[in-house]
A and B are shown apart, each in its own frame.
Chain A
Amino acid sequence: DQQVKQNSPSLSVQEGRISILNCDYTNSMFDYFLWYKKYPAEGPTFLISISSIKDKNEDGRFTVFLNKSAKHLSLHIVPSQPGDSAVYFCAAPPGAGSYQLTFGKGTKLSVIP
C-alpha cells in the first residue's frame, strides 16, 4: 500500500509560469515531509522540507504548502526556469523518531523555454 502518492507522472510548464507539484499521503503519523529533485544520472538532491506544525515553508522560488486535514502537500515553483526540469520526489519518514524515508513515485517536470 503506497503511503506517499504522486499521482501526476509528468507536468509541462512554460518558463516564467508557476509549477505546482502535488503529493498525497495516507499515514496520519507522518509529521515531516521533504521534497527532492533529481536530474538524470545524478542522485536526488534535497530541495525543501516542512514540519507538520507549519502549513507553509518558503525558500526562494520554492514554497511547500501542507494541508494536514486533507493529507496533501504541494510544491510551488515561481517563476519556473528551464533548469528546474527534473524529477521531483515527495518523501516522508514514517513517524516521530524514524529516519527511513518513504518516497512517492515522482513527477517529471518539464519547463519549456
Chain B
Amino acid sequence: NAGVTQTPKFQVLKTGQSMTLQCAQDMNHEYMSWYRQDPGMGLRLIHYSVGAGITDQGEVPNGYNVSRSTTEDFPLRLLSAAPSQTSVYFCASSSLKGGPQPQHFGDGTRLSIL
C-alpha cells in the first residue's frame, strides 16, 4: 500500500541548477498538490491539479513549474534553483468524489540550495 511516493528524499543543489521532484500516487486520486514547509511557516501551497492536463497556482508558485500528464504523477520542476527555495517539499493527493476528503501526504523531499 504505497500511497504517495516522493523521490528523492534528500537533494543538494547549487544555485542556478535545475531539477525535478517526483511525486506518484497509486490511489487514483484526481487532486494532487505540492506544498513547501519552512521553519515557523506551516505548509504553503505551491501548485495543484484537479486532473490530468489541469494545473493551477497556489500561494507561492514563483520559481516552480508543474505538469500533470497522467493521474498518477505530478512532478515539480525548479528551473533555476535559488537559496530561497531551500525547504522541505510535500506532495499530497485526495479524491474529489463525495465532498471534501482529507489529503494524503508523502514523506517529503528535503532540498538544500547552496
Which residues of B pack against A, CB within 8 Å? 4, 31, 33, 35, 40-45, 48, 50, 58, 90, 92, 94, 96, 100, 102-108
Please report whether the interface of chain A is mostly helix, strand, loop or mixed according to DSSP. Answer: loop
Given contacts A43-B105, A43-B108, contact A100 B45 (CB under 8 A): yes
Enumerate chain A residues within 8 angstroms of B33, measured Cβ to Cβ.
99-101
CA–CA, A51 to B99, complex, Å?
11
Chain B interface mostly: strand
Interface size class on chain A is 20 to 34
| B103 in contact with A101 (CB, 8 Å) | yes
Nearest B residue to A6 via CB reads: B42
Q: Which 6 A-B pairs have the closest CB atoms?
A: A43-B105, A46-B102, A105-B42, A103-B42, A103-B43, A32-B100
Query: Contacts A43-B4, A43-B90: A93 and B40 contacting too (C-beta < 8 A)?
Result: no
